[in-house]
Amino acid sequence: MLNLLRPAVTKVLTPIGRALARRGISANAITAAGAVGTVVAALWLYPLGWLWWGSVIITVFVLLDLLDGVLARMTGSDQSRWGAFLDSTLDRLADAGIFSGLILYFILKDDPEIVLAGVALFCLVAGALVSYAKARAEGLGMTANVGIAERSERLVVVLVSAGFSGLGVPYILPAGLWLLAAASAVTVGQRMVHVYKQAVVE
């Protein structure tokens, strides 16, 4: 759903991409910087309870995921198999960092919230399954580009709910995590059904 906004965001990022390309900065370098920055910010700021600033900083690094695509197309490296593999792998690393940071936040509180830590862990696992289902389907020559909670939607939910929780909005982080857990589980089911239908036709 949020992929509909990608053309507009890409238009904004294009001048930045041109500037980076002129300086010889590669798309893979941007990919790595975004992932490392996300993991460091999440594992440092979230456990300290700095949910607002953590979410703001992580959002900046997440936007690099769009910038690396723009830069790759400009430099002609968008067809690189290594670049595609690196991008997907580091996306999983970044996701793990975000949810691990939230898990530590819940566990390290003066009054630990073990249930919410478990929900955050479920979101991490379910999100990985969403991505794996697509990758495995494509490896078998099928598609799995369906579902209500792709990575962009999952990131928006977790970052917005964590950020506003840091501003003192009550219940928004638990609500966001429960919503994300349910949506991720549904998406896994949707992709399984989608692939099953293709397999049966064969």
Token code pair at residue 144? 């799995």
Its sign, for the CA torsion 13, 163, 126, 103, is positive
Segments in 140-171 forming alpha helices (H): 151-166
Rounded to whole angstroms, the Cα distance separating 153 from 159 reads: 10
Residue 68 among the catalytic residues: no
Reading the block at residue 56, the tokens are 């703001």
* Terminal CA-CA length for the chain: 29
**pTM for the model:** 0.91
The model's pLDDT over 138-187, given as tens digits with 9 standing for 90+, comes to 999 999 999 999 998 999 999 999 999 999 999 999 999 999 999 999 99
Q: Which tokens sit at 55?
A: 């979410």
Q: Give the separation between CA 156 and CA 160, rounded to whole angstroms.
A: 6
Q: Which of 65, 68, 87, 91 is catalytic?
A: 91
The residue that leads in pLDDT, 98 or 74, is: 98
CA angle 114, 118, 124 (to 5 degrees): 145
- Cβ 166 vs Cβ 110: under 8 Å: no
CATH superfamily membership of 2-201? CDP-alcohol phosphotransferase transmembrane (TM) domain (1.20.120.1760)
pLDDT above 90 for 11? no
pLDDT digits (tens, 9 = 90+) for 35-94: 999 999 999 999 999 999 999 999 999 888 778 877 777 776 555 788 889 989 999 999
SS3 call for 47? coil
Residue spans of the domains in the chain: they are 2-201
Evaluate whether 130 touches 149 at the Cβ level (below 8 Å): yes
Q: What is the residue whose two structure tokens read 């990575």?
A: 151
Please compute the mean of the pLDDT values over residues 16-40 and round it to a whole number: 86
- Shortest CA distance to 131 belongs to which of 85, 69, 179, 198? 85
The pair of structure tokens assigned to 21 is: 């390309």
Task: For residue 17, report the phi and psi dihedrals to the nearest 5 degrees.
Answer: -60, -40
